[in-house]
């Protein structure tokens, strides 16, 4: 992990790529763990729940077979990293998904991708886990790990304009303002850069 004077929101358990690798929140009973093959049914339940996919066309319009392909892909890490997704655990219960659904070159030139890389973060929480600060804590760990653990130079968060809870989370909890695309319901809610 890169050294920083910024107080990180997590402790790392294991090393990226290890089966036991996880990010453990230092302030709550929340942890982010890489999905395993045995987690595929849990991931599918989260992705197929219409309450979770309402504002995400990439999953709400996907077939069951496509969702299973997504879940299976998340159980392995590509090299170089082009995504990094976690199951969110509260104690011993999986309550959602958070991570970097895209990691790539900031300028779009993948040949130079090691020079300046960015990520796109997101979070999905089961309805019973909402309103308890878990989305904030999970995203905070994803942001910190992306910027300081992976060395990304920026992280973006995008969402549908109707996703009021995500907009409120980004604006009130993270102090970031939405920049909406004209003629489009999707918007880039935030862009974090390494200090």
Report pTM. 0.87
Are 32 and 22 within 8 A, CB to CB?
A: yes
Q: Which candidate, 86, 79, 70, 56, places its Cα nearest to that of 166? A: 56
pLDDT confidence bin for 50, thresholds 50/70/90:
very high
What tokens appear for 117 in the block?
């890389």
Helix (H) or strand (E) holding 6: none
pLDDT at 3: 46
Give me the DSSP letters along 34-75.
Answer: ---GGGHHHHHHHHH-HHHHTT-HHHHT--HHHHHHHHHHTT
Question: pLDDT higher for 90 or 159?
Answer: 90
pLDDT at 161: 72
Q: 101-111, pLDDT tens digit by residue?
A: 999 998 766 55
Does the bond joining 112 to the residue before it have cis omega, within 30 degrees of 0?
Answer: no
CA distance 164 to 175: 15
48 pLDDT higher than 50: yes
Look-up: residue for tokens 């890389």?
117
54 pLDDT higher than 90: no
Q: 27-40, pLDDT tens digit by residue?
A: 999 999 999 999 99
Are 86 and 23 within 8 A, CB to CB?
A: yes
How many other C-beta atoms are found inside a 10 Å radius of the C-beta of residue 14?
13
185 pLDDT higher than 90: no
The mean pLDDT value for 158-183 works out to 75
pLDDT confidence bin for 183, thresholds 50/70/90:
low
What Å distances lie between residue 146 and 15, 38, 126, 191, CA to CA? 14, 25, 23, 13
């Amino acid at each position: 992990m890169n050294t920083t004077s910024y107080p990180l929101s997590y402790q790392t358990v294991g090393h990226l790529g290890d089966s036991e690798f996880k990010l453990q929140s230092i302030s709550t009973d929340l942890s982010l763990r890489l999905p395993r093959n045995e987690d595929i049914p849990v991931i599918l339940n989260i992705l197929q729940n219409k309450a979770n996919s309402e504002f995400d066309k990439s999953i709400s319009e996907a077939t069951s077979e496509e969702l299973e392909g997504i879940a299976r892909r998340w159980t392995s890490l590509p090299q170089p990293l082009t995504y990094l997704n976690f199951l969110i655990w509260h104690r011993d219960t999986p309550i959602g998904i958070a991570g970097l659904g895209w990691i790539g070159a900031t300028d779009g030139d993948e040949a130079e991708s090691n020079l300046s890389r960015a990520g796109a973060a997101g979070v999905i929480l089961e309805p019973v886990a909402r309103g308890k600060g878990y989305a904030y804590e999970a995203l905070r760990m994803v942001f910190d790990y992306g910027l300081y653990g992976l060395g990304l130079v920026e992280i973006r968060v995008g969402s549908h304009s109707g996703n009021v809870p995500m907009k409120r989370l980004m604006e009130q909890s993270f102090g970031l303002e939405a920049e909406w695309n004209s003629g489009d319901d999707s918007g880039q809610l935030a862009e974090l850069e390494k200090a």
